């Protein structure tokens, strides 16, 4: 790699950052302008059956304390609900509220729009090859796959 060549990590980060920006803009335009980037990252990680705080913190790569503060803010703002975990009476699950589900819908639609623009730019064959390569990298880089 020459001195002026960007490494793969940076090349992956640049489009990720752009998609994240576009999603946050769509959320703001959709009336969810109180969501911060850090909060939106947690909301995006809520599983379909709910998530535990410790799992969210690990996936978002933040401390449990940071995740707890963000979750408290999201509960107060009406995006998340805390419910008893049916598998463990001492634990609590975090679930999306109706507002949270609407926000996730807006975010997912924005992400689909950005991806369709990228596919149009790259073409179907290069897009497919890129997706395949990224899915292979995920096997060795994503402990939550």
Q: List pLDDT tens digits, range 23-63.
A: 999 999 999 999 999 999 999 999 999 999 999 999 988 99
134 within a domain of the structure (yes/no):
yes
57 within a domain of the structure (yes/no):
yes
* Dihedral, 55, 11, 131, 95 alpha carbons, nearest 10: 20
The residues pairing with 59 across neighbouring beta strands, listed in sequence order, are none
The residues pairing with 94 across neighbouring beta strands, listed in sequence order, are 51, 82
- Write down how long the chain is: 145
Q: State residue 46's pLDDT score.
A: 95
33 within a domain of the structure (yes/no):
yes
Q: What is the total count of domains within the chain?
A: 1
The CATH number linked to 88 is 1.10.10.10
The span from the CA of 109 to the CA of 115, in Å, is: 10
The model's pLDDT over 72-123, given as tens digits with 9 standing for 90+, comes to 999 999 999 999 988 887 889 999 999 999 999 999 999 999 999 999 999 9
- Taking residue 40's Cβ as centre, other Cβ atoms within 10 Å add up to 21
Domain housing 20:
8-141
2 within a domain of the structure (yes/no):
no
Q: State residue 4's pLDDT score.
A: 83
């Amino acid at each position: 790699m020459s001195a002026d060549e960007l490494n793969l990590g940076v090349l992956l980060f640049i489009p990720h950052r752009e998609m994240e920006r576009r999603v946050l803009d769509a959320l703001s335009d959709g009336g969810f302008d109180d969501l911060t980037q850090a909060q939106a990252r947690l909301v995006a990680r809520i599983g379909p059956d709910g998530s535990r705080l410790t799992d969210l913190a690990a996936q978002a790569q933040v401390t449990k304390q940071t995740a707890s503060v963000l979750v408290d803010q999201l509960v107060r703002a009406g995006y998340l609900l805390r419910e008893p975990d049916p598998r463990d009476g001492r634990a609590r699950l975090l679930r999306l509220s109706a507002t949270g589900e609407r926000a996730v819908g807006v975010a997912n639609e924005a992400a689909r729009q950005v991806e369709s623009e990228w596919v149009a730019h790259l073409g179907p064959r290069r897009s497919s090859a890129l997706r395949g390569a990224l899915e292979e990298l995920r096997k060795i880089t994503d402990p939550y796959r």
